Amino acid sequence: MDALSLIHARAGTEPVRLGLILGSGLGHLAQSVEGVAIPYADLPGFPHAGVSGHNPNLVIGTLEGVRVAVFGAREHYYENGNPAAMRPALELLKALGATALIATNAAGSLRPDIRPGDLMLLSDHINFSGLNPLIGERTDARFVPMTDAHHPVLRAALRAAAQAEGIPLPEGVYAWYSGPSFETPAEIRAIKTLGGDAVGMSTVPEVILARFLGLKVAAISTVTNMAAGLSDEQISHDHTKAMAPLGAAKLERILRAFLRAM
């Protein structure tokens, strides 16, 4: 049985409206969905998604009255060297009827006014890695325009949801670094010079793939640390997992308000 047929068999055939990719610290949000959780391992062709702190289940159901598909984990480029690892998952999201994707992630801040525990709405991104998930695509659809890749209407709706909840949501530019090693202070200075406001190891491939598939996209970072060389804190994956919940509670409130407004 293919992945779409399996989902229809377990979760029904009602179309979903929106996809959510959950970053570090947000896994509990999937548990709030009234629906069915399907392990990635049950879905043919699905990503490996083996990073600790993530929950590799696809949850199909209702959250705040909206039919959603919630991805509890993503496969990062650094896991297997495949920037297109999330393509099967996003193709499936499109097949399920979704027209939009909201991605979340954990990130390091380059701005003194955005601190650990804060959130940042992505206004744009920099592909600092130079990798692209569409390399190898044979059709002319690979030439995807990326102006307004982070959809202005979705961003406005998320800002309105944050304002309604009384939560600051500054906008900024996210730089994708391949990982899995963290950035050096010199690399952070370079990213800052290029116009980056936050840095992380995900999201940009998903944005490119989603735009390729015709999905509208918006993304929010939970800041877990100041980037290398900008503070005395010791950066590690354990530190990221420990700090992510500080912003996750605020992010959940924004996402719920955003869904209610839909």
* Closest C-alpha to 144, from 155, 153, 131, 132: 132
Query: Is 237 a known active-site residue?
Result: yes
Residue in 86, 198, 201, 244 annotated catalytic: 201
Q: Which tokens sit at 231? A: 């503070």
Distance CA 49, CA 51 (A): 6
Q: Which of 55, 57, 202, 221 is catalytic?
A: 202
Catalytic residue among 8, 28, 48, 237: 237
Q: Is 202 a catalytic residue?
A: yes
* 86 in catalytic set: no
State the catalytic residue, choosing from 55, 76, 120, 218. Answer: 76
79 as an active site residue: the answer is: yes
User: Is residue 78 annotated as a catalytic residue, yes or no?
Assistant: yes
The catalytic position among 24, 105, 109, 221 is 24
Cα–Cα distance, 33 to 15 (Å, whole number): 15
Residue 176 φ then ψ, to 5°: -90, 120
Which of 69, 73, 100, 106 does the annotation list as catalytic?
106
Q: Which of 79, 91, 137, 187 is catalytic?
A: 79
One of 28, 37, 64, 78 is an active-site residue; which one?
78
Say which of 3, 30, 54, 157 is annotated catalytic.
54
Is 24 a residue of the active site? yes
Residue of 175, 183, 225, 227 with catalytic role: 225
* Residues involved in catalysis: 24, 54, 76, 78-79, 106, 201-202, 225, 237
